[in-house]
Amino acid sequence: MPHEPARMRTSYSSDFLYTLTTDELRMDGFRRAMATHRAKRVLEIGCGPWAPLVKLSLEASAEHVTAVEASPAHAQMARKQVAHYGDRVQILSGRSMSLPTELLAEQEPELLVAELLGYTASKEGAPAILADVQHRLGPLPTVPKRASSYLAPAQTLEVGLYDSRNFPEDLHLAEGQLWEDYDFECLEKQKPQANNEGSLQEQLQQRKRLTFQVPVGSEVGGTLLWMQTELSDSNVIDTRRDFTSWNQYYLHLEPQVVEDGQLEVCTAVDARTEDVTYEFQVGQRKFSVV
Ligand SMILES: C[S@@+](CC[C@H](N)C(=O)[O-])C[C@H]1O[C@@H](n2cnc3c(N)ncnc32)[C@H](O)[C@@H]1O
């Protein structure tokens, strides 16, 4: 997984971001999530140049959308995209964390929307960004509601050409297990939920020790990493199962043979800022993304 600082994520090309708007599964998931909430006033973080989620919000029920966009060029393009909605849409240029609370809160949003999900749940900084808005504006329902990342030990990838949205199924040596999980609606003042997780603020640093049973004597070449998001209740996209514009990662490590068939994997994520760091220890091999 390459390190991609926050400043690079805000310079995604408008062509690349256009392809996201043609991902029907993704767009339909967001459309259904917006329809569920029927919010009149929406705040979006990261509307991109095409502002597709602003349009979906207005089509669903919104009377007003405030959208924040960190890239000045994208913000300018987004303004053109939504010009015909007049004063029903306001595009704010800047990084959400640097904008004054009064500006974000001006229209009294009822729903917080942000598609800041990468190939993993935290990679684009969604946990820190949403925790900051939730902290400053008070409890808001969110779309997506939650996001998590999964990991499965994988065989050594043979030399070849692979579509990173569609790695072969038989690459898996065991079922995937969850290694990071964010409930974007679980705020400081709320009690931990059924699965005993902490508030969103407390979720920003996560460590997991996972044990996988792999075939005895098998060679582990690395791990597959992917993301799952619940956009609204029972409206789930899993980037390993579903064919979407989100890629999956193959984390290549030097191959190792697991003699007893038991592979231990330790993960550590620090998502307290937009520049998230990761550590993976897979059996004898270590890998950091900082
Ligand atoms: C993955 S794109 C999503 C664009 C659009 N919402 C969509 O769903 O197609 C994320 C956008 O969020 C912007 N962004 C990332 N971090 C941000 C932040 N902290 N504040 C405001 N915008 C941000 C990026 O510049 C980029 O345009």
Task: Give pLDDT tens digits for 54-93.
Answer: 999 999 999 999 999 999 999 999 999 999 999 999 999 9
Highest mean pLDDT of the ranges 140-149, 182-191, 196-205 = 140-149
Nearest to 60 by CA among 86, 39, 85, 74: 39
Ligand 1 geometric centre to CA of 115 (Å): 7
Percent of the chain scored above 70 by pLDDT?
Answer: 92
Quick one: pLDDT at residue 136?
A: 95
Burial of 141 (0-12, 13-18, 19+ CB in 10 A): middle
The pLDDT value recorded for residue 194 is: 47
The answer to whether the beta carbons of residues 285 and 268 sit under 8 Å apart is: no
> Where do the H-state alpha helices sit in 38-90?
52-60, 72-81
- Cα–ligand 1 centroid distance for 17 (angstroms): 9
pLDDT value of position 196: 45
Segment 93-116 shows an average pLDDT of: 98
pLDDT of residue 150: 98
Whether the per-residue pLDDT at 193 is higher than 80: the answer is no
Report pLDDT for 87: 97
Any atom of ligand 1 within 6 Å of the Cβ of 115: yes
Q: What residue ranges define each of the domains in the chain, with the CATH number in brackets?
A: 1-115 (3.40.50.150), 143-290 (2.70.160.11)
Under a CB-based contact definition with an 8 Å cutoff, are residues 136 and 112 in contact?
Answer: no
Which pairs from 17-24 meet CB under 8 Å and 24+ separation?
A: 17/48, 17/49, 17/50, 17/74, 18/49, 18/50, 19/245, 20/48, 20/52, 20/115, 20/245, 21/50, 21/52, 22/245, 23/244, 23/245
Q: Whose CA is nearest to atom 19 of ligand 1?
A: 95
CA of 233 to the centre of ligand 1 (A): 23
Pocket test for ligand 1, best of 19, 82, 115 (most atoms within 8 A of CB): 115
Tell me the mean pLDDT in the region 252-257. 95
Report the chain's terminal Cα–Cα distance, integer Å. 10
Residue nearest atom 2 in ligand 1 by C-alpha distance: 48
Instruction: State which ligand 1 atom lies nearest to the alpha carbon of 129.
Output: 19
Kindly give the distance from the C-alpha atom of residue 19 to the centroid of ligand 1, in angstroms, as a whole number.
Answer: 14
Model pLDDT, residue 7: 58
Whose C-alpha lies nearest to ligand 1, atom 18?
95
Atom of ligand 1 nearest to the CA of 47: 6
Q: What's the 275 CA to ligand 1 centre distance in angstroms? A: 14
Q: Which of 10, 43, 244 to mutate for ligand 1's pocket (most ligand atoms within 8 Å of CB)? A: 10
Is the pLDDT at 1 greater than 90? The verdict is no
- Element containing residue 6 per DSSP (H, E): helix 6-9
Judge if the beta carbon of residue 68 lies within 6 A of ligand 1: yes
190 pLDDT more than 60: no
Asked whether the beta carbons of 42 and 113 are under 8 A apart, the reply is yes
Q: Whose CA is nearest to atom 24 of ligand 1?
A: 10
Compute, in angstroms, the gap from residue 70 CA to the centroid of ligand 1.
7
DSSP assignment of 213-241 equals: E--TTEEEEEEEEEEEEEEETTEEEETTT
